[in-house]
């Protein structure tokens, strides 16, 4: 895989709570320079990112219900509406973890359906990635969550927020890919700091890599070449 090909699989991420406007501007400049697939930032920075990345191929992504997924569904829906109105074209929403762990799959599915419908109605249509936070789930819950994400109309199932007790693993990505129907893509995120791990995750089925170490991964790939 070339450096350009890897860059197109990376969501260049900065979700640190202490990030500043200057940090976001630097993130956007890096995304433009390396031609990453997108940036993924906190909602409060959307205005800056949209301005910096307008007329470019870099998508602007943000998070919804982050990082716990425990917001009321109406709050998540409003947050998604505001993000899309501000110019976001990709939303990474945390699944309703409390409902999931309680076995209330109806609530989980309905919430995804609502936000997926909102993304489809946006102009242009937005991409919805649903974070299931694998570190808190049993194997059976991961499989069922992936199926519900697909049934709800999302575009991606995503492994982790990066704020939980664990990040992306080869085993989890393999499991999600096997459980997902062909149209549902897989995003690996959380603790991906080496190009070796990134390549392993892509090989077992990840379509996107979410990482704050995107520049480092590309540098490592170039050094190995």
CATH number for the domain including 74?
3.20.20.70
The single-letter DSSP state of residue 52 is H
Catalytic (active-site) positions: 92, 158, 187
Yes or no: say if 15 and 42 are a contact pair by the CB < 8 Å rule. Answer: yes
> Structural domain tally of the chain?
1
For residues 191 and 97, give the distance between their C-alpha atoms in angstroms, rounded to a whole number.
20
Whole-number Å distance between alpha carbons of 199 and 178: 18
| Structure token digits, residue 119 | 């993304």
Each residue of 93-123: pLDDT tens digit?
A: 999 999 999 999 999 999 999 999 999 999 9
Residue 117's pLDDT is 98
Residue 199 pLDDT > 90 = yes
Distance of alpha carbon 5 from the chain centroid: 18
Compute φ and ψ for 84, nearest 5 degrees: -65, -40
* CB-based contact 160:137 (threshold 8 Å): no
What is the pTM assigned to this prediction? Answer: 0.97
What domain range includes position 141?
A: 3-224
């Amino acid at each position: 895989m070339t450096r350009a090909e890897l860059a197109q699989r990376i969501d260049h991420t900065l979700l640190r709570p202490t990030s500043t406007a200057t940090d976001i501007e630097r993130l956007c400049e890096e995304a433009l320079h390396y031609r990453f697939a997108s940036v993924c930032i906190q909602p409060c920075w959307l205005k800056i990112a949209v301005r910096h990345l307008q007329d470019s191929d870099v998508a602007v992504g943000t998070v919804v219900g982050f990082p716990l997924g425990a917001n009321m569904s109406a709050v998540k829906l409003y947050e998604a509406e505001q993000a899309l109105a501000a110019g976001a074209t990709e939303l990474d929403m945390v699944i309703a973890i409390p409902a999931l762990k309680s076995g209330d799959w109806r609530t989980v599915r309905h919430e995804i359906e609502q936000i997926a419908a909102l993304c489809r109605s946006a102009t242009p249509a937005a991409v919805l990635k649903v974070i299931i936070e694998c570190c808190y789930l049993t194997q059976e819950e991961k499989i069922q969550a992936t199926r519900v994400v697909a049934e709800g109309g999302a575009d991606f199932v995503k492994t982790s927020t990066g704020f939980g007790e664990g990040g992306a693993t080869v085993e989890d990505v393999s499991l999600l890919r096997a459980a997902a129907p062909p149209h549902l893509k897989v995003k690996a995120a959380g603790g991906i700091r080496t190009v070796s791990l990134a390549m392993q995750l892509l090989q077992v089925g990840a379509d996107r890599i979410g990482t704050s170490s995107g520049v480092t991964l590309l540098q490592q790939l170039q050094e190995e070449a």
